[in-house]
Amino acid sequence: MNSTTMAGNWKQMKGKLKEKWGKLTDDDFTVLEGKQEQLAGILEKRYGYAKEQAKKDADEFYRNCGCCG
C-alpha cells in the first residue's frame, strides 16, 4: 500500500488500529498518518515488541486490515 492509499483510508484505518492496539496515543496517530513504515517503531515503543516482531505484526495488519482497497 502506498502513502496516498493510506492517507485516503486514514479514518477507517485509525479505528482498526485503535481496536488492535489500544495503547496507541493521539501523538502516535499523528506520526502514523500517511506513514505506514512508522507503525513498527511505535509498536516497539508502546508494547516492547522486538524489532522483527513489530515489523511482522505491522505488515500483517496492513495486509489484513480491509481498508487498503
pLDDT of the residue at 44: 96
pLDDT of the residue at 36: 81
Q: pTM for this one?
A: 0.78
pLDDT of the residue at 9: 78
- From the first residue on, what is the mean pLDDT of each consecutive set of 10 residues in the chain (69 residues)? 62 90 94 86 96 95 78
Instruction: Please give, one letter per residue, the 3-state secondary structure of 5-63.
Output: HHHHCHHHHHHHHHHHCCCCCHHHHHHHCCCHHHHHHHHHHHHCCCHHHHHHHHHHHHH
The conformation of residue 66, written as its DSSP 8-state character, comes to S
